[in-house]
Amino acid sequence: MMGFGYFGIFGAIFMLLFWVLIIAGVVWFVKWLVEQGSGGSAGTSKRRALEILDEKYARGEIDDEEYERRKRKLLGG
């Protein structure tokens, strides 16, 4: 059996799968830590920026034209 034994091929496949899962878990954890350190995801900060813009508009601090210009810029359009 070429030195692998009965479970040699299966053992190699499971070992490869094990290491792939370990590496993926580490990458996910590092990504999570970075997002926590930056105050959340980009979608959350964009949503908060739109809320602030709406509040400024509601208080009359900015006019219609300025509101629309800033909103387009925030939404990327």
- What whole-number distance in Å separates Cα of residue 66 and Cα of residue 21? 49
Whole-model pTM over 0.75: no
- The answer to whether 32 touches 25, Cβ cutoff 8 Å, is no
Q: What confidence tens digit (pLDDT) does each residue in 43-52 have? A: 677 888 899 9
- What is the reported pLDDT for 5? 66
Q: What confidence tens digit (pLDDT) does each residue in 17-71 have? A: 999 999 999 999 999 888 777 655 566 778 888 999 999 999 999 999 999 999 9
Residue type, 34: V
DSSP letters for 14-75: HHHHHHHHHHHHHHHHHHHHHHHHTTS-HHHHHHHHHHHHHHHHHHTSS-HHHHHHHHHHHH
